Amino acid sequence: MFSRFLSLLCCLLFALPRLSNAEEALIDCHVHLWTHQRPSGLSWIKKNDTVLTKDFLPETHESVVKANGVTGVIVVQAGQSLQDNAWNLEITSGNPRMYRGVVGNLSEVIGTEKFAPLLRELSKNSRYLGYRLSGRYQTEMTPAFFRDLALTADMGKSVDFLVGAYSLKDVDVIARRLPQLRIILDHCGNVRLDGKALPAQWIADYRAVAKHTNVYCKVSALYGRFAEQPAPRELAVYRPILDLSLHCFGEDRLIFGSDWPVSESTADYSALLRLTRSYFLEKGADVMDKVFHRNAMKCYAIPPLR
């Protein structure tokens, strides 16, 4: 009875707005913004998709996160256009207290001579936290590829991996070779859920990556990981991947992300946030604060508010 009372008390306390020394108490580390008017477009969105064929810009997004108590956001570039790195910085420049940083996408140029000057130029903006590798333009991870990752680490920037074009085994190799590089796995390693047991080989690869203390895991897009949509809403369905992630990465290397507005295809923002909170609430207030705030500040090296 007493433990249930403590759990309820923690829930009520976490629901209240909490700010400490001007740092956010709830940071969403995976939000996309886009307009279909961008030259490169978003080819991965199906033309008959009635949800994602809309534009999603700050004026739409800000009301959603404010209504849910989110006070800091990391924008992750939705496509691989080089131009959109700067565009994401520009479109979020009007509200830097909300949009704390941008993770761009340099998939197209990593391992080429174009990479270093572009990264240095983008990094002149302190809100450019790093980039995502979601596409693969070279078949091999060449010496030039590792050279550019080493430069990324030297500049204090991070790398997100959307597992697919790069496998978990690739990330394992990279993390071992460059222990100074901060790496973030998106969407729990881009796991696919179907209500059945996770494949043994996938679990083994996931565990291997998690052994590297420079790798963080983003608990994001949970509903979107489900093969059949609409996805189940019950926490019990997601508990196996959440238990595995917490066991492998620990409470100090997990961060929260919504994957908004892609998540709107499955559930509204509040439902996704409530699902993730309900799991970590069981682990106590300190773990909640780490997953929803402190770990994000550390792994993305988010600049302090001025």
Q: What is the pLDDT of residues 167-176, one digit of tens each?
A: 999 999 999 9
Segments in the chain forming alpha helices (H):
2-15, 58-67, 83-91, 115-122, 143-154, 168-177, 187-190, 200-210, 235-249, 269-281, 285-289, 295-299
Q: Which amino acid is at 235?
A: L
- pLDDT at position 288: 97
CATH of domain 2-299: 3.20.20.140
Query: Cα–Cα distances in Å, from 100 out to 43, 61, 94, 226, 290?
Result: 27, 14, 11, 29, 17
- pLDDT at position 5: 46
What would the mean pLDDT of 188-214 be, rounded to a whole number? 97
Cβ proximity of 79 and 105 under 8 Å: yes
Q: Which two tokens stand for residue 250?
A: 């620990």
Beta pairing class for 128-133 and 99-105: parallel
Closest to 231 (Cα-Cα) out of 189, 264, 198: 264
What would the mean pLDDT of 53-62 be, rounded to a whole number? 95
pLDDT at residue 2 tops 90? no
For 18-53, write each residue's pLDDT tens digit: 433 334 489 999 999 999 998 788 888 988 899 999
